[in-house]
Every structure is written in C-alpha cells, then in structure tokens.
Amino acid sequence: MREILFRAKRTSNARWVEGYFFKDGEKSCYIRYSDTDYHIYPETLCEFTGFYDTSGRRIFESDILRVWHSEKPENFTDFLVYLCEPTGNWVAVSLNSKLEVYDLFKLTLAVRYEVVDNAFDNMEKISEEAFRKE
C-alpha cells in the first residue's frame, strides 16, 4: 500500500515540511509532522507519488526529475512530475522543446533517475528549458 504523504512550504519561514495534510475550516491549511502542525501555503502542496529515485529520495508532485538514458553523464533529460487528473496516473513531462509526456512508472525503468529540484524553487529553470529552441 502506498504511503499517503504531502509536502508544502511553511508560511512561517518558507521551508519545506513533509507530513499529513489537513484543513482547518475553509482557508487554513496545515501539514502535521510528528506532533507539530505547520501552517502552509496551499498553492505549494505536493503529494508523494509512491515512487523513490535511485538514491532512495521520495518523488513528489512538482519535483524535477533528472533521468539518464545511458551510462553517459551528459545523456539525460529533466522532467516535471505531476498527476494527470483524467487518468489518475503520475506522469512526467520533459522540460525541453518536445514536451514529451511519460508515465512515471516507465521513467523509473531508466538507467538512473534523481530528484534534482522542484518547480516552486526553480520556476526560471522550468521556463527556460521548456521554451528553449533546439
């Protein structure tokens, strides 16, 4: 069974916190970690996909995943992870001009794949790579 876990940025210091998400009324959103409830920015809320990278790090929605297609260190593609709501599958879209979409499970069959960043901390990189001309 997949662990249900979330990550978001805390309103107190903009640091990431992982734990269990809940709402207090209509507007306030929190993540509970251990015995502490952290008020979060709801727009940064990311769900754990149930997958881990080759280093054992959890892969969350909005993570940037670097996937190596061979043993050559320069032969990689960066992908943005997200939930495809119509199908309910975790997918990744390549951050290059092709904008290819892959099922996340299929990417985990690559030679190596690692979380290198996330969309919220690196929006400029996503914009530059997604709209770069090749």
Give the pLDDT confidence of 36-68 residue by residue, as tens digits.
Answer: 999 999 999 999 999 999 999 999 999 999 999
For the cut 70, the answer to whether the pLDDT of residue 134 exceeds it is: no
Return the H-helix or E-strand segment holding 113.
Answer: strand 112-118
Q: What confidence score (pLDDT) does residue 39 get?
A: 96
Q: Could you tell me the residue ranges of all domains in the chain?
A: 6-43, 46-130
Q: What confidence score (pLDDT) does residue 133 get?
A: 42
Q: Quick: pLDDT tens for 80-110.
A: 999 998 888 999 999 887 788 999 998 888 8
Q: Quick: pLDDT tens for 115-131.
A: 999 999 877 666 555 54
What residues contact 129, with CB distance under 8 A and at least 6 apart?
A: 78, 95, 96
Q: What confidence score (pLDDT) does residue 49 get?
A: 95
Q: Could you please report the per-residue DSSP string of 6-63?
A: EEEEBTTT--EEEEEEEEETTTEEEEEETTEEEEB-GGG-EEEEEEE-TTSPEEETTE
Q: What is the Cα–Cα distance from 125 to 17, expressed in whole angstroms?
A: 23
Q: Is domain 46-130 given the CATH code 2.30.30 in the classification?
A: yes
